[in-house]
């Protein structure tokens, strides 16, 4: 944890927190870690897409992953830094270069899309969001975020208008926050909640808990793309199982094709950044 944040955390009655600052302390921060969470980077501002962040955040992620490869190559990596659709491929290429790549231990965090989907669908259905489960697949930006509303639990019947509304709002939930903050940043509290929720799931998997299933953006054969977000089962080795998409309706199949086209370019952009 960086020093200013650690100083704030010192006020919380939890286990001891250590703070580190800058690249000169990176190895000290990473050595011996079982899970590494990477939220580093610049936030979006109004008018920016996640892809606009690429040139800055790509370099940050590359440096951090080089440190992980050296100091804790067996760690499970939770990658939050945007654009996740490109930064996960960057991390994979860095690890491949030094021979430490384990696809089971590299996960792009798309939990915020799931949290938003559960909340927005619950609002429409008049339910508690904690009782709703919406699979969100694809990626973590715009049209690549594909909520499978035909697979919502509990089972429900949504009108075409509701499906259009919910899909658009889930895909653009981040932009909604950026615009509301009017230049003061992007999603922070909701992202922190989603990151903590996903990290907790990884920890429960490491502990050996059964049936820890969440959506994440991972190396995958679910589609023809090398990376794709879908439900995965977490365990002691990281990803224990990657689930198929299940039955899709016509609306979702069309959305899937749009998502894949966008994702392909983002993935290649990340790969090319490291290989150039």
Q: Is there a binding annotation on residue 116?
A: yes
Q: Is there a binding annotation on residue 275?
A: no
Distance CA 82, CA 135 (A): 21
Q: Is there a binding annotation on residue 78?
A: no
Q: Is there a binding annotation on residue 1?
A: no
Name the residue among 40, 193, 176, 198 with its Cα closest to residue 108.
198
Q: Is there a binding annotation on residue 253?
A: no
Q: Is there a binding annotation on residue 82?
A: yes
Residues designated as active site: 140
**Binding-site residues from annotation:** 44, 50, 57, 80-82, 116, 191
**Binding-site residues from annotation for substrate:** 44, 50, 82, 116
**Binding-site residues from annotation for NAD(+):** 57, 80-82, 191
């Amino acid at each position: 944890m960086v020093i200013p944040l650690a100083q704030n955390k010192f006020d919380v009655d939890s286990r001891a927190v250590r703070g580190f600052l800058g690249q000169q302390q990176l190895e000290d921060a990473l050595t011996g870690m079982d899970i590494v969470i990477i939220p580093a980077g610049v936030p979006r501002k109004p008018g920016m897409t996640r892809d606009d962040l690429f040139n800055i955040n790509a370099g940050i992620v590359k440096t951090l992953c080089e440190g992980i490869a050296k100091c804790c190559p067996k760690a499970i990596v939770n990658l939050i830094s945007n654009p996740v659709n490109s930064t996960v491929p960057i991390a994979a290429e860095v690890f491949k270069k030094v021979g430490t790549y384990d696809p089971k231990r590299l996960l792009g965090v798309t939990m915020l899309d799931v949290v938003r989907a559960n909340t927005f669908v619950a609002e429409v259905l008049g339910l508690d969001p904690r009782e709703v489960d919406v699979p969100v697949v694809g990626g973590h930006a715009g049209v690549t975020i594909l909520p499978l509303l035909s697979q919502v639990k509990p089972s429900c019947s949504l009108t075409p208008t509701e499906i259009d509304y919910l899909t658009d709002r889930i895909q653009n939930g981040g932009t909604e926050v950026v615009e509301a903050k009017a230049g003061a940043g992007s999603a922070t509290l909701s992202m922190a909640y989603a990151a903590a929720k996903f990290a907790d799931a990884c920890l429960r998997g490491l502990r050996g808990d059964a049936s820890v299933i969440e959506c994440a953006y991972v190396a995958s054969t679910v589609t023809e793309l090398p990376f794709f977000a879908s439900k995965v089962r977490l365990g002691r080795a990281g990803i224990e199982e990657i689930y198929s998409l299940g039955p899709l309706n016509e609306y979702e199949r069309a959305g899937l094709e749009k998502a894949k086209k966008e994702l392909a370019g983002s993935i290649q952009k990340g790969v090319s950044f490291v290989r150039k």
